[in-house]
């Protein structure tokens, strides 16, 4: 019997993945299978490794009290070898309920439910300030090191 049934059939992520010597998932049993499958499909689509930058489920990890991380439906991720904008666009293809762009260079993805005919939660955080955005009216300017420099 598989100790981690939510990872069954997942190709690119393992319940034993590490971030700085700690489990990348916090508690792998608490992670939503739907979310893991979306990440796995995203990784397959882009053809480049995805790095988890924040444990997905770790109480007291500094996320807001109502964070999707505590529900096991969110991860903060990076992808080397793909521009920040291309990585964001790829994330949009997989219908994540929430996508946040951070000026520190990672992208938050979560699998919260999306109301019918709604785009899901989208935001940018720059200098500690969260700004909601809609896909039709934003621009992210990035330099070659994939650091988000400005939002318009």
CATH number for the domain including 109? Answer: 3.30.1380.10
DSSP label at residue 93: T
pTM: 0.83
d(CA 140, CA 148): 7
pLDDT tens digit sequence for 52-65: 987 666 665 566 66
Is the pLDDT score of 112 beyond 50?
yes
Strands 98-102 and 121-126: parallel
Total tally of structural domains belonging to the chain: 1
Is the pLDDT score of 50 beyond 80?
yes
What's the pLDDT score for residue 91? 95
pLDDT-derived band at 94, boundaries 50, 70, 90: very high
- 3-class secondary structure, 86: helix
Number of Cβ atoms within 10 Å of the Cβ of 4: 16
Scanning 69-119, the segments in alpha helix (DSSP H) are 84-92
Q: Which domain holds residue 113?
A: 5-151
Mean pLDDT computed over 113-139: 77
Residue 105, both tokens: 């260079």
Comparing 30-34, 92-96, 140-144, the range with the smallest average pLDDT is 140-144
């Amino acid at each position: 019997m598989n100790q981690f049934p939510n990872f069954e059939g997942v190709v690119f992520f393992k319940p034993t993945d590490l971030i700085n010597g700690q489990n990348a998932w916090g508690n792998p049993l608490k992670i939503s299978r739907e979310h893991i499958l979306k990440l796995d499909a995203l990784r397959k689509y882009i053809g480049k490794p995805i790095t988890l930058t924040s444990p997905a489920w770790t109480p007291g990890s500094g996320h807001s009290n109502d964070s999707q991380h505590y529900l096991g439906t969110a991860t903060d991720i990076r992808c080397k070898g793909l521009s920040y904008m291309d990585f964001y666009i790829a994330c949009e293809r997989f219908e994540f309920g929430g996508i946040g762009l951070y000026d520190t260079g990672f992208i938050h993805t979560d699998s919260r439910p999306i109301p019918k005919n709604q785009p899901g939660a989208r935001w940018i955080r720059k200098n500690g300030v969260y700004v909601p955005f809609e896909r039709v009216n934003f621009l992210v300017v990035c330099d070659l090191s994939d650091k988000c420099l400005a939002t318009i």
